[in-house]
Amino acid sequence: MSIGPDIKEAIVEVGTKFIIERDSGDITGGYLNFGSNAQVTKPFIREFFLEAEFCYDTTIVGGDIVKFNTTGTRYIVMNYTPILFENEIIKWEVVLYKTNEVIQILRSVNARNLQTYLMEVRWEIKETDRPALITSPLYGTDLDTDEELGLIGLELNEMYIPSAYDYAVHDRIRLSDGDYFRVEAVKKRRYQGVDVVEIGFDTRATSSSTTTTTSSSTTTTTTA
């Protein structure tokens, strides 16, 4: 007989309640037990990384957004590993990264101005209100230095987002404080269901944008 239900009972008794946020509908009623990452001497690791235990029957997958009910803090599921006993899963060990931004993703399109007949760049909103983790590069490699490429001044940072987000290289990332970043490169397959995206400050001109989101068939005009 599996001991998974017994471990689940203990996690429910002492653990933290959470919600899995998905476009198809939130999944409620889950519990987890968590602790700080063992590398507590590194402030960034201590602040943003959690190691957690999930119940054996959890439905989480890589790239899921997990929100703690009590604090409202959102985390990205970065890694999940089954723990086996007598050839059955008894719990899952999971690595969570805390999000620190809510982003909007915009994509440039060329459109002709009907008054001037000139081609203009407009910005379509592809994603909105999406949690993400944005940070300076962690390991001091080739991303440490600032560069100047054409008209765009780049101070490269890294962004961790679920692979399911609709984004592409050269898209614009708008932060909650109004700052703009540009997607410079994408590192896929480092994590299951999560992409690491290199972003730099975006100094491209803004203009009127026609929104075409999947959640609504209404077309509106905004300022990007």
CA 56 to CA 89: how far, in whole Å? 6
The reported pLDDT for the residue numbered 217 is 33
**pLDDT tens, residue order, the chain (224 aa):** 689 999 999 999 999 999 999 999 999 999 999 987 655 566 777 788 899 999 999 999 999 999 999 999 999 999 999 999 999 999 999 999 999 999 999 999 988 888 887 888 889 999 999 999 998 765 544 434 444 434 333 457 899 999 999 999 999 999 999 999 999 999 988 899 999 999 999 988 876 444 444 443 333 334 44
> 4-98 has which CATH code?
2.40.10.270
**Model confidence over 126-143: pLDDT tens digits?**
999 999 999 876 554 443
Q: What is the pLDDT of residue 2?
A: 81
Do the domains spanning 4-98 and 101-223 agree at the CATH topology level?
Answer: yes
Q: From its phi and psi, is residue 25 left (phi > 0), alpha (psi between -120 and 50) or beta?
A: left
The predicted pLDDT at position 36 comes to: 72
Structure tokens that stand for 28 in this block = 């409620």
> What is the C-alpha to C-alpha distance for residues 89 and 81, in angstroms, rounded to an integer?
10
Sketch the domain layout of the chain as residue ranges: 4-98, 101-223
Q: What is the pLDDT of residues 40-72, one digit of tens each?
A: 566 777 788 899 999 999 999 999 999 999 999
Supply the pLDDT for residue 39: 55
What is the architecture, at CATH level 2, of domain 101-223?
Beta Barrel (2.40)
